[in-house]
């Protein structure tokens, strides 16, 4: 019996913890702590601890499948590739779209966007960052010139005031929560604003429950209070920023007095006043946010407002400070960095920029690329499919499951049914895979080499621990074989992920100085522009990444969510995640240690609302919105503010996204998962 330990990076959240996969006779059978792991020092949350359990599930896809007469039949790789090449190759570039995956490696995301742009010549390439942090990328880039977490995870521990807004860090990024605890141990104050009394909120020195969708009003109110008390950082504002007067004009309006913000948000005046004082007077303060901020029709406005607050108080470019969006999936930062987005190549080089196009054509050895225009986002793809039938005819989806993750699932289903040809590449047959014409079996994180980039911009290695099951292959290998088959053998002649990474480093300025040798064992934070550069854990120390080096204040007015409660749908519905499950559950629901802790969905209802509705705890109720209905057990709890209800979105049996709607942020095209109008009823026997 041979036992070996292979150090790699967790496949779940964007924290990027390292652990050892324990391999016996060629098969992974456990996870063991890797004490010198750079992000987590050997500690793991339950998802990471049990990240081996789904790897050898009997449900893994092991052979290509082709749909015949409404059912799937096993096929050879050649049969599957021939069919894909013939069908996808027959459409015009504008009729085909690709979805890349934040669960796959940097190398694979890079190849997927290259495949879309070089082989299919389509501009329509996107991935699920659209559903979580597209507003971060757009909002922070507009303010700072760079759309990513500004400080590192360990740096949060240096803070003297941690303001957590719209992030349940203790459940969703537990190993980042350790830094919050350390900040507190070092004398820092913790403020948490959330409609739910989450495990994160329970750790706060000041907890501010608020009505979902009122973030800008709260942030403007805090800024008004700080300015009224003369506590803004005048020196920082003068030397490092511009357009402060424009900001002031808006935030000093009567609408944003503490009294009015209290009425809008439900937060007591005294709490707002205390929060403003703590943020402004701390030696250094940091703001942490996640999807509570981004998943709104005003997601970009929300993000810009967080940046306004931290520039106003001079907390940028300093240890213990910054604006720190916590990215969701393990490699969502990397998938964005690699250009799996409709508007940029890798390193955020704009597709509309002629110099960038020329550079890519030369590097890729082609005369022609996808037109230099911005393609459809994920959400636009679904809208086009459902509402403009025939415009988009074929899709290639790698490692995404829109039939559970996207808003308004009825709409998504209509769209997928309108496709003439769908390829889904995944490790399990998902809800989306059921709609496919061809399913390609992929290797999981434990079965390949590669890199991923965590939320703090740290690029880290994955290392192969076992072979993929049956005939499953690494995503990078599949894309290379398909690209070669479709006429581009030279462009996809990679022998290894390392060879792909070397091309990434060559064309991506922020990755220029990276190589596999340099990434072992601690990784490197981008930007890392040269081979001697140590990486950049803290951004914007001397100047912002703008041509003039200045951060830009953005005056933002508060706007209510696209759908607000009314007589028919009188409550606000918000959605989110649990500690024990991950996204659409493809991996965690096949991990028995996790699944047994949280096997079914629920709707959280405040006791006062439950009493008015005559609903008991654990009673199965019907939750309905204008999009559909779900029958789901009630969890009656004072841990959610009156008037707001919450459903986790992991469960296909109780799909929260049957209820959510697809109203989009006009800039980032992110849907408003965090607020729509819902009604809840008792289910009575007919």
| Binding flag, residue 48, ligand SF4 (CB under 6 A) | yes
**Measured distance CA(427)–CA(424) in Å, rounded:** 10
Identify which of residues 241 and 330 has a Cβ nearer to ligand SF4 in the complex: 330
Identify which of residues 31 and 370 has a Cβ nearer to ligand SF4 in the complex: 31
| Binding flag, residue 10, ligand SF4 (CB under 6 A) | yes
- Residue keyed to tokens 């537990």: 174
Identify which of residues 10 and 378 has a Cβ nearer to ligand SF4 in the complex: 10
Q: How many residues bind ligand SF4 (CB under 6 A)?
A: 14
Q: What is the 3-state secondary structure (H, E, C) of 323-372?
A: EEECCCECCHHHHHHCCCCCCECHHHCECCCHHHHHHHHHHHCCCCCCCC
Q: Is 83 left (phi over 0), alpha (psi -120 to 50) or beta?
A: alpha
Identify which of residues 47 and 60 has a Cβ nearer to ligand SF4 in the complex: 47
> Among 47, 63, 133, 248, which residue interacts with ligand SF4 (rule: CB under 6 A)?
47
Identify which of residues 170 and 210 has a Cβ nearer to ligand SF4 in the complex: 170
Q: Find the binding residues for ligand SF4 in span 84-103 (CB under 6 A).
A: none
In the complex, least distance from residue 374 CB atom to ligand SF4, rounded to whole angstroms = 32
**Measured distance CA(325)–CA(150) in Å, rounded:** 8
| Binding flag, residue 538, ligand SF4 (CB under 6 A) | no
| Binding flag, residue 13, ligand SF4 (CB under 6 A) | yes
Identify which of residues 176 and 645 has a Cβ nearer to ligand SF4 in the complex: 176
Q: How far from 448 is each of 51, 176, 461, 476, 498, CA to CA, in Å?
A: 15, 26, 10, 9, 11
CB 328 within 8 A of CB 247: no
In the complex, least distance from residue 78 CB atom to ligand SF4, rounded to whole angstroms = 37
- Residue keyed to tokens 């709104």: 296
The dihedral over CA atoms of 136, 347, 371, 383, expressed in degrees to the nearest 10, equals -30
Cβ neighbours, 10 Å, residue 135 = 30
Which range binds ligand SF4 by CB under 6 A, 142-150, 170-178, 608-616, 651-659? Answer: 170-178
| Binding flag, residue 446, ligand SF4 (CB under 6 A) | no
Identify which of residues 10 and 423 has a Cβ nearer to ligand SF4 in the complex: 10
Q: How far from 101 is each of 109, 113, 131, 665, CA to CA, in Å?
A: 7, 11, 12, 22
Which range binds ligand SF4 by CB under 6 A, 44-52, 208-216, 251-259, 277-285? Answer: 44-52
Distance of CA 390 to the CA centre of its chain: 30
**Given CA atoms 312, 315, 321, 324 in this order, what sign does their dihedral have?**
positive
Identify which of residues 110 and 170 has a Cβ nearer to ligand SF4 in the complex: 170
In the complex, least distance from residue 420 CB atom to ligand SF4, rounded to whole angstroms = 38
Distance of CA 568 to the CA centre of its chain: 32
CB 324 within 8 A of CB 156: yes
| Binding flag, residue 334, ligand SF4 (CB under 6 A) | no
| Binding flag, residue 175, ligand SF4 (CB under 6 A) | yes
CB 644 within 8 A of CB 211: yes
Which range binds ligand SF4 by CB under 6 A, 37-45, 442-450, 550-558, 565-573? Answer: 37-45
| Binding flag, residue 31, ligand SF4 (CB under 6 A) | no
Q: In DSSP terms, which residues pair with 676 in a beta bridge?
A: 573
Identify which of residues 48 and 321 has a Cβ nearer to ligand SF4 in the complex: 48
> Among 38, 123, 166, 174, which residue interacts with ligand SF4 (rule: CB under 6 A)?
174
**Given CA atoms 395, 399, 400, 401 in this order, what sign does their dihedral have?**
positive
**Measured distance CA(90)–CA(84) in Å, rounded:** 10
Identify which of residues 52 and 63 has a Cβ nearer to ligand SF4 in the complex: 52
**Measured distance CA(551)–CA(241) in Å, rounded:** 4
- 152-158-161 Cα angle (round to 5): 105
3-state SS class at 459: strand
Identify which of residues 16 and 145 has a Cβ nearer to ligand SF4 in the complex: 16
Q: Are strands 3-9 and 18-24 parallel, antiparallel or unpaired?
A: antiparallel
Residue with the closest Cβ to ligand SF4? 48
In the complex, least distance from residue 191 CB atom to ligand SF4, rounded to whole angstroms = 22
Omega into 527 within 30° of 0, i.e. cis?
Answer: yes
> Among 6, 37, 45, 80, which residue interacts with ligand SF4 (rule: CB under 6 A)?
45
In the complex, least distance from residue 547 CB atom to ligand SF4, rounded to whole angstroms = 36
Which range binds ligand SF4 by CB under 6 A, 15-23, 221-229, 357-365, 628-636? Answer: 15-23
Which range binds ligand SF4 by CB under 6 A, 7-15, 211-219, 304-312, 436-444? Answer: 7-15
| Binding flag, residue 17, ligand SF4 (CB under 6 A) | yes
Q: Which two tokens stand for residue 277?
A: 């004082």
Identify which of residues 129 and 310 has a Cβ nearer to ligand SF4 in the complex: 129
Identify which of residues 461 and 540 has a Cβ nearer to ligand SF4 in the complex: 461
| Binding flag, residue 50, ligand SF4 (CB under 6 A) | no
Q: How far from 345 is each of 44, 221, 498, 509, CA to CA, in Å?
A: 34, 38, 20, 11
Which of 436, 418, 420 is closest to 428 using CA atoms?
436
Distance of CA 347 to the CA centre of its chain: 18
Identify which of residues 40 and 241 has a Cβ nearer to ligand SF4 in the complex: 40
| Binding flag, residue 441, ligand SF4 (CB under 6 A) | no
In the complex, least distance from residue 3 CB atom to ligand SF4, rounded to whole angstroms = 22
Q: Which secondary-structure segment (H or E) carries 278? A: helix 269-281
> Among 160, 173, 583, 590, which residue interacts with ligand SF4 (rule: CB under 6 A)?
173
In the complex, least distance from residue 48 CB atom to ligand SF4, rounded to whole angstroms = 2
Instruction: Give the contacts of 176 (CB within 8 A, at least 6 positions apart).
Output: 15, 153, 156, 169, 288, 326, 455
Which range binds ligand SF4 by CB under 6 A, 45-53, 364-372, 568-576, 676-684? Answer: 45-53
Q: Which two tokens stand for residue 23?
A: 């391999």
| Binding flag, residue 12, ligand SF4 (CB under 6 A) | yes
Sketch the per residue contact string, 118 through 157, with ligand SF4: x for CB under 6 A, - otherwise.
----------------------------------------
Identify which of residues 15 and 346 has a Cβ nearer to ligand SF4 in the complex: 15
> Among 6, 28, 44, 398, which residue interacts with ligand SF4 (rule: CB under 6 A)?
44
**Measured distance CA(454)–CA(499) in Å, rounded:** 21
**Measured distance CA(668)–CA(387) in Å, rounded:** 20
**Given CA atoms 596, 601, 606, 610 in this order, what sign does their dihedral have?**
negative
In the complex, least distance from residue 657 CB atom to ligand SF4, rounded to whole angstroms = 22
In the complex, least distance from residue 132 CB atom to ligand SF4, rounded to whole angstroms = 14
Q: Are strands 628-636 and 603-605 parallel, antiparallel or unpaired?
A: parallel
| Binding flag, residue 594, ligand SF4 (CB under 6 A) | no
- The residue ranges that bind ligand SF4 (CB under 6 A) are 10, 12-13, 15-17, 40, 44-45, 47-48, 173-175
């Amino acid at each position: 019996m041979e036992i070996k330990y292979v150090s790699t990076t967790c496949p779940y959240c964007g924290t990027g913890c390292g652990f050892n996969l324990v391999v016996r006779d060629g098969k992974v059978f456990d996870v063991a702590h890797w004490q010198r792991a750079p992000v987590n020092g050997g500690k793991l949350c339950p998802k990471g601890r049990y990240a081996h359990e789904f790897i050898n599930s009997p449900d893994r896809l092991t052979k290509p499948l082709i749909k015949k007469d409404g059912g799937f039949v096993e096929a050879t790789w050649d049969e599957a590739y021939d069919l894909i090449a013939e069908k996808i190759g027959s459409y015009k570039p504008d009729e085909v779209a690709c979805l890349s995956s934040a669960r796959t490696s940097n190398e694979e995301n890079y190849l997927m966007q290259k495949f879309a742009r070089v082989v299919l010549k389509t501009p329509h390439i996107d991935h699920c960052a659209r559903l979580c942090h597209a507003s971060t990328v757009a909002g922070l880039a507009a303010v700072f010139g760079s759309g990513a977490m500004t400080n590192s995870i360990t740096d949060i521990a240096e803070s003297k005031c941690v303001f957590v807004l719209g992030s349940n860090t203790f459940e969703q990024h537990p190993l980042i929560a350790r830094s919050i605890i350390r900040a507190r141990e070092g004398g820092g104050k913790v403020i948490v604003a959330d409609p739910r009394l989450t495990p994160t909120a329970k750790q706060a020195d000041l907890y501010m429950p608020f009505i979902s969708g009122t973030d800008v009003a709260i942030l403007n109110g805090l800024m008004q209070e700080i300015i009224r008390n003369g506590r803004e950082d005048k020196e920082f504002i003068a030397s490092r920023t511009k357009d402060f007067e424009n900001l002031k004009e808006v935030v000093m309006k009567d609408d944003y007095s503490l009294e009015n913000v209290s009425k809008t948000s439900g937060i007591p005046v005294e709490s707002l006043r205390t929060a403003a004082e703590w943020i402004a007077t701390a030696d250094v303060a940091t703001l942490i946010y996640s999807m509570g901020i981004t998943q709104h029709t005003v997601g970009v406005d929300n993000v810009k407002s967080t940046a306004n607050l931290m520039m106003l108080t001079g907390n940028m470019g300093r240890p213990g400070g910054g604006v720190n969006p916590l990215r969701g999936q393990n490699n969502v930062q990397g998938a964005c960095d690699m250009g799996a987005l409709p508007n940029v190549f890798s390193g955020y080089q704009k597709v509309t920029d002629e110099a960038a196009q020329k550079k890519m054509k030369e590097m890729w050895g082609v005369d022609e690329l996808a037109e230099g225009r911005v393609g459809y986002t994920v959400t636009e793809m679904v809208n086009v499919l459902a509402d403009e039938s025939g415009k988009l005819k074929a899709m290639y989806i790698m490692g995404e499951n829109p039939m559970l993750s996207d808003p308004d699932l009825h709409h998504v289903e209509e769209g997928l049914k309108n496709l003439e040809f769908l390829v889904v590449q995944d490790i399990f047959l998902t809800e989306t895979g059921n709609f496919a014409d061809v399913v390609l079996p992929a290797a999981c994180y434990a079965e390949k080499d590669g890199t991923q980039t965590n939320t703090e911009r740290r690029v880290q290695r994955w290392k192969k621990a076992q072979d993929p099951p049956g005939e499953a292959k690494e995503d990078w290998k599949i894309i290379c074989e398909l690209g070669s088959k479709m006429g581009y053998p030279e462009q996809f002649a990679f022998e290894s992920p390392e060879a792909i990474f070397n091309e990434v480093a060559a064309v991506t300025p922020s990755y220029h100085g990276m190589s596999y040798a340099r990434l072992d064992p601690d990784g490197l934070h981008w930007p890392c522009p040269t081979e001697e550069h140590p990486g950049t854990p803290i951004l914007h120390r001397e100047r912002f990444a703008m041509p003039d080096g200045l951060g830009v204040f953005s005056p933002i007015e508060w706007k209510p969510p696209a759908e607000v409660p009314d007589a028919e749908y009188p409550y606000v519905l918000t959605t989110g995640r649990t500690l024990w499950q991950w996204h659409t559950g493809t991996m965690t629901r096949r991990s028995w240690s996790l699944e047994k802790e949280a096997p079914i969905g629920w709707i959280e209802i405040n006791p006062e609302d439950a009493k008015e509705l005559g609903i008991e705890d654990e009673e199965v109720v019907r939750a309905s919105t204008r999009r559909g209905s779900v029958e789901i057990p009630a969890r009656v709890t004072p841990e959610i503010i009156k008037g707001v209800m919450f459903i986790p979105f992991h469960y296909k049996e109780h799909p929260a996204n049957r209820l959510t709607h697809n109203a989009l942020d006009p800039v980032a095209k992110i849907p408003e998962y965090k607020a729509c109008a819902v009604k809840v009823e008792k289910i009575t026997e007919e």
